[in-house]
Structure 1
Amino acid sequence: MQLRPYQSELIDDARQALRKYKYVFISLSTGAGKTIIFSAMTTGAFKRQYRVWIIVPRNELLEQASDHLFRHRVPHGVINARSNESRAYLVHLVSKDTLTRRWDKIKNWPDLIIVDEGHLNYKFQMDLKERIPDKTIMIGFSATPERLSGEGLSDIYDTIIYGPSQVDLIELGFLTKIKYFSPPLIGLEDIHRKGIDYNPDELEELFKKRAVYGKAINHYREHGIGKAAMVFCRSVKASEETARQFRNAGYRFESVDGKMAKGRRKAILDGLRTGIIDGICSCELTIYGIDIPRIECIIMLRPTLSRTYFMQMIGRGLRPYPNK
């Protein structure tokens, strides 16, 4: 497996940290190869006959990790709603939701647990930490080493290892350069908070008042035409309406959400990968874990107070791609 220098360095740093700590977190920018790194870690552990779990928060990430492991000839099983733990495999890809329902049915705890998108699911990770045996070590991965609320992860992890910054990765050519356009949204400063973010109902009223949707289409026409686009919206309803307005303007846009049939959702995402469609709109589904290097235009119709949300959203468009 050919690793970039900083990827090899992060693996070495993690190895050193695990001599002192049981719970280690690795922070690396979106698009910089977190899946490649933990696949390399898994390959090394597999060769030493260690048991490994890779825990993912969503099925798309499970499939993505599986592709990487198959590519590097690492046999593995899957633990999800349709599959159980198998003694035939040292390595398992694990659905977070399935594991939550099967705490009392675990047969063999692994030697190494890798938690993908470790900034998510705080309660789950705390439960996991309380249950794992002394022999098991845990490594979390994310581009954003803090919870969506902005709180840290020190309750779970003993130390954090930082990879190169987004700026450094852009200068090295491992991520694409950014052109950032920020039209003013007068009235945003008056929106109240709801939970950790802006009140979505008040945002909807402001967007209607300021004709934000129409302006977004005009901005796409001016700056993003011919570029694969991803639009982040405040709700599934807003996502569907935004996609409809783009289609009415003559562009091939679709909305995706977590309740959509898996086959339909995959077809839309594949359509963006191949250029059959021009763009997709979503609320939560595409904020993390979507690996489509063709994406070149990010439209943020979701003002946010969360640095984690913001960095995850812009990261969807930073992967290098020919002529990008």
Structure 2
Amino acid sequence: MSKVEFVKSHLIGKLKEHIETSSTIYILTSFVMKSGVEVIKEPLKQAAERGADIKICAGDYLYVTQPEALRALLAIHPNIEIRLWKSNGVSFHPKAYLFENTNDGYFIIGSSNLSRSALTSGIEWNIGLHKCVEENVFAKVMSEFLTLFYAEQTVQVNEETVKDYEKHYADYHQRHPNLVRQWTTSEEMELMLPATPKAAVDMMYESKPSYGSIQPRFAQVEALAQLEATYTEGYDRAMVVMATGLGKTYLAAFFARNFHRVLFIAHREEILHQAKRSFAQVLSDKTFGIYDGKVKEGQADVVFASIFTLSMKKHLEIFAQDAFDLIVVDEFHHAAAKSYERVLAYFQPQFLLGITATPDRNDYKDVYALCDGNVAYRIDFIEAVQRGWLAPFRYYGVYDDTDYTKIAWRGNRYDEEQLLQAQLRTEMAENILRAWEKHKQTKTLVFCSSIRQADFLANYFNEQGYRTVSLHSKQVHITRTEAIALLEKGELDAIFTVDLFNEGVDIPSVDTLLFVRPTESLTVFTQQVGRGLRLHPAKQYCVIIDLIGNYRNADVKLSLFDTKRGETNKKREKLLPTVPEQCDIVLDVRVIDLLEEMRRKRQPRREKLLHDYQELKQELGRRPTYLELHLHGRSEAKEYRDEFKSYVGFLYWAEELSEREKEVFLKYEAWLIEVERTTMTKSYKMVVLQAMLNRGPSRWHLPITPNEAAPFFHQYLTEKEYRKRIDFSDGETKRLWKYDEQKVAKLIAKMPMTKWSGSSNGLISFENNVFSLNFSIAPADEATLYQWTQEICEYRLHVYFERRSGGK
């Protein structure tokens, strides 16, 4: 059999051959046509049914991909993962078919998209190559596919995201009617525009710490003590939240001294290599290995694994389920959450440690749930600055006269082309330069929106006599390592970058940050601010220069610097936050006026809640549960309750309920509000309600006695250490760790049954030792009301223990 093949037509035969024998099937295509799905769906379905790992990524460039083609892909099999690349006007032309099994691999790269003509009778040029010919190239291609598949520019394809895509598709083709006729007829329009090759991004490793022997320091001392106490108390998982710059990776290494074999999981190669260096300085008696798309060093004592590689079935099952005593999960890459779930469901470690640097990211809540609500230690960057563990800052808010209300918002970011039209102006570059000259120190990182903006501003600064470079994925003239070295030596004044320094790489000597992009994500902004706060002998404080215009989040971003954040002042929110000593915030007068005006005209609360709900619904492909809204939604779930009295009340207002559901809601609204709003000094009310719900949709609302509720009540509060510690360990309840039905029943009768009946406005009674609902439920309404009550109960229990454990 030839190891390299040239395929000019009828590619489908070659694809079927490898689909039938492969355990891993990855497809990357510029566009998908329904005709192409019809050709390939049966072999893909059979592969999915036998358990193959199938991932398909298509692009939306110029809206060639047909909505009906995406729906056809979805219909093949639920285990096939499908994502859509949001090109935002940037050309997207890859065509690749990747296959791997136990013994070999094969990939086809060429001109064939997923259309009938391209796979059958069309004239196409494709090269097929066996893994054994170029193993390094094969590994690189697989790794690049997974990086692209889980990139922030991709969205999961589901019915909700297809609906959204369909609207944009129809709008685009209404404006370009000739194109839609041509594509629909031929189904093979290839838009072969030249694309700039992506430069290889070199690794940047954290330099060896300047302090002497490697010992815990600053926050690491406190966090390590809390972690080790948690482990000693018998917990099997916990999380630590530590601001960027405090050494969360070193903390994990110090904690790892308690274990023999360790698995460290992250989503970026830079983080893996940096973590390996950190661990090696702490654990001198261990061996260390990388396990990613290129290297497979799985026999080491401490393995640093890429989640994208490890989540593949053939790699995961190489390891025994009990192969590792400690698993450390670094920051979640949100789109890859399912990959983490797959890996963590497989392994059975003695202890699971989740570490994260940005407590405001949605992923924090995901890690929290994985760690059973046990937050061993938490410190954000403001508290670290207060305690002298991070550098003080001086923040300068500079006025940006761009009118962002005229720039289209594309789901989670501004339209790139429209934004560039506003940004690539000489007068704006001049404004940025003057602000920088006024406030800068010696070494500057500049955070830009796009590659074109970074190049434009770097060129402009250089024309004014400064020494700068733009550093991004398409830069081929200088590597990241070289640029950082020049900046540290003082041979560069600034580096203009696009997201390369959000996480995984630190330059402690940086003393100036310049933000020339709208703050689309508060999480990313927090990560980027952290790049300048690391302590360094030559740095007294960090200067933060931030362009502020009327963009989204402009009026709330300053709260990130507030030492009193979270303390609600309902009378009047302060414009200027209370910053730590030695820090300062200075705003242009026009910035102050702008922020005051934005507060007066702030998007109505209900509209924002609806927008955030719809965004999550698209991500999930269905209506989110109440707990999912809390775990993954941009707005806090309690905001929905505060505004609409209940989550179901919001769904009613938002026209998200069917006509039948609306009838049920209006009949039982008082009950739903009661379950939502009843006070909980302990978890007991919801635990009893959960005991009732466990009886099923047709029996959940029937009366219950304390003795009937006792077995579940006791099991629930003692099966998890954090529940027992929080709600079942005072003087009275600690004696009940050993089950005694009568004593537990007596506790339940006293609290919550008696107390809840007295505060329920007549909806609940507790008489003659029987706890009852004082309203009837029609049989036709039982299932719906059961589901809603279950969702509220599940949400309230989770939030209660999250809050009491010190979580967000």
Matched, 1:296 2:296: no
Aligned to 2:222: 9
Alpha-carbon distance in 1 for matches of 2:363, 2:435: 30
Query: In structure 1, what residue type is equivalent to 2:417?
Result: D
User: 8 Å contact 1:145–1:153 — kept in the other structure?
Assistant: no
Aligned match for 1:78, one of 290, 294, 318 = 290
Matched, 1:58 2:268: yes
> Equivalent residue of 1:319, what SS?
coil
User: 8 Å contact 2:408–2:415 — kept in the other structure?
Assistant: yes
Aligned match for 1:271, one of 463, 482, 486 = 486
1:160-309 aligned at under 5 Å gives the runs 160-186=375-401, 187-189=403-405, 191-208=407-424, 211-225=427-441, 227-258=442-473, 264-309=479-524
How many angstroms does 1:262 deviate by? 11
Alpha-carbon distance in 2 for matches of 1:138, 1:259: 38
C-alpha distance 271-155 of structure 1, shift in aligned 2 (>3 A) = same
Matched, 1:110 2:324: yes
Aligned to 2:279: 69
Query: In structure 2, what residue type is equivalent to 1:66?
Result: K
C-alpha distance 210-153 of structure 1, shift in aligned 2 (>3 A) = farther
User: 8 Å contact 1:119–1:146 — kept in the other structure?
Assistant: no
How many angstroms does 1:304 deviate by? 1.7
Alpha-carbon distance in 2 for matches of 1:302, 1:204: 11
How many angstroms does 1:263 deviate by? 8.0
Alpha-carbon distance in 1 for matches of 2:435, 2:249: 33
How many angstroms does 1:99 deviate by? 2.3
User: 8 Å contact 1:119–1:144 — kept in the other structure?
Assistant: no
Query: In structure 1, what residue type is equivalent to 2:439?
Result: H
How many angstroms does 1:313 deviate by? 0.8
Aligned to 1:40: 254
User: 8 Å contact 1:119–1:147 — kept in the other structure?
Assistant: no
> Equivalent residue of 1:66, what SS?
helix
Aligned to 2:309: 98
Alpha-carbon distance in 2 for matches of 1:163, 1:274: 35
Deviations 1:23-47 (A, max 9, x none): 43211111112122112122x13xx
> Equivalent residue of 2:491, what SS?
coil
> Equivalent residue of 2:536, what SS?
coil
Alpha-carbon distance in 2 for matches of 1:291, 1:118: 19
How many angstroms does 1:202 deviate by? 3.4
C-alpha distance 293-104 of structure 1, shift in aligned 2 (>3 A) = closer
Larger Rg: 2
How many angstroms does 1:296 deviate by? 0.9
How many angstroms does 1:283 deviate by? 1.3
User: 8 Å contact 1:119–1:142 — kept in the other structure?
Assistant: no
How many angstroms does 1:291 deviate by? 1.1
How many angstroms does 1:309 deviate by? 0.8
Deviations 1:104-157 (A, max 9, x none): 45324422221223364433323323332x335322222213546897544434
Instruction: Count how many residue pairs are aligned between Structure 1 and Structure 2.
Output: 317
Query: In structure 2, what residue type is equivalent to 1:35?
Result: T
Alpha-carbon distance in 2 for matches of 1:204, 1:297: 24
Identity level (%): 26
> Equivalent residue of 2:395, what SS?
coil
C-alpha distance 308-180 of structure 1, shift in aligned 2 (>3 A) = same
> Equivalent residue of 1:182, what SS?
strand
> Equivalent residue of 1:110, what SS?
coil
C-alpha distance 201-25 of structure 1, shift in aligned 2 (>3 A) = farther
Query: In structure 2, what residue type is equivalent to 1:51?
Result: R
Deviations 1:239-296 (A, max 9, x none): 2222222222222222222455698222222322333322212212111122111111
> Equivalent residue of 1:176, what SS?
coil
Alpha-carbon distance in 2 for matches of 1:77, 1:157: 26
- Worse overlay, 190-199 or 90-99: 190-199
C-alpha distance 181-114 of structure 1, shift in aligned 2 (>3 A) = same
For structure 2, the residue ranges without an aligned partner over 5 or more in a row are 1-213, 540-808
How many angstroms does 1:312 deviate by? 0.4
For structure 1, the residue ranges without an aligned partner over 5 or more in a row are none
RMSD of equivalent CA atoms: 2.9
> Counting helix residues as a fraction of each chain, which structure ranks higher?
2
> Equivalent residue of 2:538, what SS?
coil
Query: In structure 2, what residue type is equivalent to 1:169?
Result: A
Alpha-carbon distance in 1 for matches of 2:331, 2:455: 26
Deviations 1:145-176 (A, max 9, x none): 35468975444342234433323322322211
- Worse overlay, 142-151 or 252-261: 142-151
C-alpha distance 29-241 of structure 1, shift in aligned 2 (>3 A) = same
Query: In structure 2, what residue type is equivalent to 1:68?
Result: S
Query: In structure 2, what residue type is equivalent to 1:99?
Result: L
User: 8 Å contact 1:69–1:75 — kept in the other structure?
Assistant: no
> Equivalent residue of 2:265, what SS?
strand
Alpha-carbon distance in 2 for matches of 1:164, 1:103: 35
Alpha-carbon distance in 2 for matches of 1:149, 1:200: 26
C-alpha distance 111-294 of structure 1, shift in aligned 2 (>3 A) = same
Query: In structure 2, what residue type is equivalent to 1:96?
Result: I
C-alpha distance 199-254 of structure 1, shift in aligned 2 (>3 A) = same
User: 8 Å contact 2:245–2:530 — kept in the other structure?
Assistant: yes
User: 8 Å contact 1:21–1:158 — kept in the other structure?
Assistant: no
How many angstroms does 1:238 deviate by? 2.0
Alpha-carbon distance in 2 for matches of 1:149, 1:69: 24
> Equivalent residue of 2:456, what SS?
helix
> Equivalent residue of 2:537, what SS?
coil
Alpha-carbon distance in 2 for matches of 1:232, 1:162: 30
Alpha-carbon distance in 2 for matches of 1:94, 1:210: 45
Aligned to 1:310: 525
Q: TM-score, normalised by structure 2?
A: 0.36
Alpha-carbon distance in 2 for matches of 1:146, 1:126: 21
User: 8 Å contact 1:6–1:163 — kept in the other structure?
Assistant: no
User: 8 Å contact 1:230–1:298 — kept in the other structure?
Assistant: yes
User: 8 Å contact 1:191–1:202 — kept in the other structure?
Assistant: yes
Alpha-carbon distance in 2 for matches of 1:23, 1:201: 46
